[in-house]
Amino acid sequence: MRIVAKNVDDYLANVPEPARTTLSKLRAAIRSIVPPETTEEIRYGMPTFQYRGGLVGYAAFPKHCGLYPMNGSLVEQFAEELKAYETSKGTIKFPLDKPLPAALLKKIVKTRIAENQARRAQ
Q: Specify whether the CB–CB gap between 67 and 26 falls below 8 A.
A: yes
Q: Is residue 23 part of a domain?
A: yes
Q: Is residue 53 part of a domain?
A: yes
Q: Which domain holds residue 68?
A: 8-113
Q: Is residue 120 part of a domain?
A: no
Q: Is residue 118 part of a domain?
A: no
Rounded CA-CA distance 37/18 in Å is 30
Rounded CA-CA distance 40/95 in Å is 23
What's the whole-model pTM score? 0.93
pLDDT digits (tens, 9 = 90+) for 85-100: 999 989 999 999 999 9
pLDDT digits (tens, 9 = 90+) for 32-86: 999 999 999 999 899 999 999 999 999 999 999 999 999 989 999 999 999 999 9
**Number of domains making up the chain:** 1
pLDDT higher than 60, residue 122? no
- Which is higher by pLDDT, 19 or 122? 19
Q: Is residue 35 part of a domain?
A: yes
67: which DSSP letter? E
- CATH number of the structural domain spanning residue 12: 3.90.1150.200
Q: What is the pLDDT of residue 6?
A: 87
Q: Is residue 1 part of a domain?
A: no
